[in-house]
A = this chain, B = another copy of it.
Amino acid sequence: VRTFSNPHPAERSSATVKDVAARASVSVATAARALGGYGRVSAATRARVLTAAADLGYQPNHVARALVSGSTMTIGLVVGDIENPFFATVARAVAKVVEPRGYTLLLANSDEDPRSERRAVETFRAQRIDGLLVAPTAADAGHGHLRDAVAAGVPLVLIDRAAERLALDTVATDNRGGAAAAVSHFAALGHERIGMLSDLPRIASSRDRIRGYREGLLAAGLEFRPQDLVVGPATRADGRACAERLLRRPRRPRALFAANNFMTIGALDAAHRLGLRIPDDLVLIGFDDFVWTTLVNPPVTVVAQAVDELGRLAGDRLLARIAGDDGPPRRISVPTELIVRGTCGTP
């Protein structure tokens, strides 16, 4: 019987084990054993098979292998936005951990949209990834797709943000501690009015930074004033708008904690437009240490995250789960480091 399949794209049918077996005059089983390097094959036979394979330009077919072995050797990574240097670094670090072990990374951007996150997770599951790494969006979105994945037995590790009602392996920055450290630093410098700029508190990490801010104030014996906390969407323009709103007020804070990249840039933009000199008229601490923080003048004091390590730890954890670790979920917290630079006045 003639086959019907695969004239699909460009009649690209590479050699199969069967072809190799025929050419080496052995059975498929033997050829497969030699090729796959498992089972026992005599040296002579192996050599014959390998030569035949080379002649034919044989390339193993992972798809077929995956179907029988149940493992695709792929890992799905869902991030908010790969253009965000934070996630790019995470992706890099994960790849570095996982590739030497033979895994390939599938990438998806959620755009911080719960629906597209869900879609990505479902696609990945259909692709039968061996494990899943996700930076979950909006904490209020239910996370049903994550629960489903876990229920189906898919190894899953959360990065950067916890899913609050789900007990899952999570590797995240110590956002609370980092924010609190920033506030403490301001307090130690003698500041009493400390403002904060944050994105909308929909994802866990943003919430934690706000929590840390309040704890820091409390610890310093300062009062939390709701009007000193301004939140807005995470874009450069919104960052500036938020900063201006805060800094235009008559009794404006003289110290500002910007909880993310966009808010930090926004604060810089706003200070520039309002003619406020840093650090004389305003001191500033940002969150996360980007390249440009040392290019501007003065260089920016930041709460630095160990992004690389975060990615590495997440990758390790997932690999462990894939390998069969079925211990209780672990929440791994990665400490931050306050890097004091020019925007705090202490050059």
Cβ–Cβ contact B67 & A9, under 8 A? no
Give the one of A62, A81, A109, A130 with max B CB within 10 A: A62
Pairs A–B under 8 Å by Cβ, sample size 16: A6-B70, A9-B70, A9-B324, A59-B125, A61-B128, A63-B67, A73-B127, A82-B92, A82-B95, A85-B85, A92-B109, A104-B124, A236-B291, A291-B292, A295-B295, A295-B296
Q: Are B82 and A85 in contact (CB under 8 A)?
A: no
Copies in the complex: 2
Besides A12-B154, A297-B297, 12 other CB < 8 A contacts?
A: A5-B69, A6-B70, A8-B71, A9-B324, A10-B324, A61-B128, A74-B127, A82-B91, A85-B88, A95-B107, A104-B123, A291-B292
* Per-residue interface assignment for chain A, residues 270 to 282, with 1 indicating a CB less than 8 Å from any chain B CB and 0 otherwise: 0000000000000
Contact indicator B153/A9 (Cβ below 8 Å)? yes
Closest chain-B Cβ to A243's Cβ sits at a distance in Å of 14
CA distance A324 to B9 in the complex (A): 6
Q: Which residues of B contact A222 (CB under 8 A)?
A: none
The answer to whether A14 has its CB under 8 Å from any CB of chain B is yes
Residues of B within 8 A of A295 (CB): 265, 268, 292, 295-296
CB neighbours of A11 from chain B (8 A): 153
Chain B residues with Cβ under 8 A from A71's Cβ? 8-9
CA distance A95 to B124 in the complex (A): 14
Q: How far is the CB of A70 from chain B (nearest CB, A)?
A: 4
Q: Min CB distance, A304 to chain B, in Å?
A: 16
Contact status A74-B106, CB under 8 Å: yes
Whether a CB of chain B sits under 8 angstroms from the CB of A188 is no
- Does any Cβ of B come within 8 Å of A105's Cβ? yes
User: Nearest Cβ distance between residue A66 and chain B, in whole angstroms?
Assistant: 5
| Distance from A293 Cβ to chain B, minimum over Cβ atoms (Å) | 9
Q: How far is the CB of A69 from chain B (nearest CB, A)?
A: 7
Determine the chain B residues whose CB is within 8 A of the CB of A292 once the complex forms: 290-292, 295-296
A83 touches B74 (CB 8 A): no
| B62→A127 contact, CB < 8 A | yes
Which residues does chain B contribute within 8 Å of A322, judged by CB atoms? 9
Per-residue interface assignment for chain A, residues 159 to 179, with 1 indicating a CB less than 8 Å from any chain B CB and 0 otherwise: 000000000000000000000
A68 on the B face (CB < 8 A): yes
The answer to whether A107 and B105 touch across the interface, beta carbons within 8 angstroms, is yes
Residues 95 to 147 of chain A near chain B (Cβ within 8 Å): 95, 99, 104-109, 122-128, 130
Q: How far is the CA of A70 from the CA of B83 in the complex (A)?
A: 32
Bound-state Cα–Cα, A215 to B311, Å = 44
Is A233 located at the chain interface by the 8 A CB criterion?
no
Return the chain B residue nearest A326 by Cβ: B10
